[in-house]
Structure 1
Amino acid sequence: MIAGLLVCAGLSERFGAEDKMMAELEGQPLALHAAAVLAAVPLDERIAVLRPGQEELAARLTSLGFRIAINPRPADGRDSSIRIGLTTVSAASRGALLCLGDMPRITPALLGTLVGHDPRPALCVHDGIASPPAWFPRRLIAAILDGREDPIRAIVARAGPAQIPADAIALADVDTPADLGHVRQHGTSGC
């Protein structure tokens, strides 16, 4: 079994007043692009972590087969959302694919490459910078949940992850309205 974990619970303070995850990109909310990729990959379970107040997004993700987990304290940061999501991954899952809702250009091929490194953890790299999406095998999930005082990035680094080269567009994340404009301008890509 493999789980897909989509994190959409950030406060998006750099984006402005609009809910970034619901910002329009090519006729649909931003977060639904990454969700659609996870829906296209053969997974046994799909989990989306949201913050309170994202009812419309929750309904849309539920219709794509996602189970919703709520981070009641999104100000605690991304690590808190990832840990909430990982606690809901089935004990039978051999691992979880971590994706962020503000990365609309990830591809099924990229996710497949990450899982292909199991039982080793894997993450994407562009120009020497590591980022999600990432593959967390069961033993890494346990280490992340046991090491709540450590940043997840440090736990993953200690595990010696495989580093999967990916292009800048595939790893583009949307933090500001200008980032969204850049993603709109450059269309789709892959790894």
Structure 2
Amino acid sequence: MVLDATPIVVAGGRSLRFGSRDKLVAELNGRPLIDRAAVAVARATRTDPIVATRDRDHASRLDDAIDGVTPSFVHDDEEYEGPVAGVAAALDTVDTPWVFVCGGDMPWLSPRAIRRLGERAEHLSPAGVVPVSGGHPEPLHGVYRVNDLRRAIEGACPRTSLRGVVERLSPLVTVPATHADDSLRHSLADVDEHADLLSGGAATITQ
């Protein structure tokens, strides 16, 4: 059974480390990063994603780069900063009890890994389920109960990071990435610089 969740793809970043070009439309093996992320989360949840962008022009550019799914778009909530701004805007349009939140720069997202997090959420019914890597939760690869995540955002300082928001959730189930299978470890990888497009082991991922 697939968890009743809406995928939220956070795509409002400025890609400063990547250079002048929007990294989300950069291609990996012939497909834009945003397309890879959007299709993967749709496969995992059987639901088209909500993509959170900076503005209408950015949404139009990303929409042109996505093929195979039909995303809806929201624009970052100006009350917040960083990924929280996109998540807050998306939550206003969600009608499922759960969401899966990820970054648009995660081309190796694994539907299998996402579904396994969803299975934990369904079985344990926590406020959220997130992987832990390097001793810290990875909030941009998490399954969250909508009402709990909304309350955590509303109760946090507008400048609180997404990690800070997620750490307010209780109970929060964490999954050590070092103890998980390869699908989760690969799924967590993102692209910050051009060199990252040449790494990540995409050919070995089992989806």
TM range, smaller chain: 0.7 to 0.9
Corresponding position: 1:155 with 2:186: no
Name the count of aligned residue pairs: 188
Contact (CA 8 Å) 2:34, 2:104: kept in 1 or not?
yes
Q: Which residue of 2 aligns with 1:2?
A: 5
Encode CA deviations 1:83-115: one digit per residue, 9 max, x unaligned.
11222212xx11101111111112111111111
Q: Which residue of 2 aligns with 1:40?
A: 43
Cα deviation for residue 134 of structure 1 reads: 0.2
For residues 129 and 72 of structure 1, do their structure 2 counterparts lie closer, same or farther at Cα, with a shift above 3 Å needed? closer
TM-score normalised per structure 1 = 0.85
- Aligned partner of 1:126 among 126, 129, 133: 133
- Aligned counterparts of 2:189 and 2:94: Cα–Cα separation in 1: 26
- Aligned partner of 1:95 among 83, 93, 98: 98
List runs of 5+ in structure 1 lacking aligned partners: none
List runs of 5+ in structure 2 lacking aligned partners: none
Cα deviation for residue 43 of structure 1 reads: 3.6
Corresponding position: 1:65 with 2:76: no
Encode CA deviations 1:37-84: one digit per residue, 9 max, x unaligned.
1121234452111122322312444861211112275x9312211211
- Aligned counterparts of 2:45 and 2:99: Cα–Cα separation in 1: 12
- Aligned partner of 2:22 among 16, 19, 22: 19
- Aligned partner of 2:203 among 182, 187, 191: 187
Name the amino acid aligned to 1:114: L
Q: SS of 1:139's equivalent? A: helix
RMSD: 2.6
Contact (CA 8 Å) 1:21, 1:102: kept in 2 or not?
yes
- Write out the 4+ residue segments of structure 1 that deviate beyond 6 Å after TM superposition: none
For residues 104 and 163 of structure 1, do their structure 2 counterparts lie closer, same or farther at Cα, with a shift above 3 Å needed? same
Percent identity over the alignment is 26
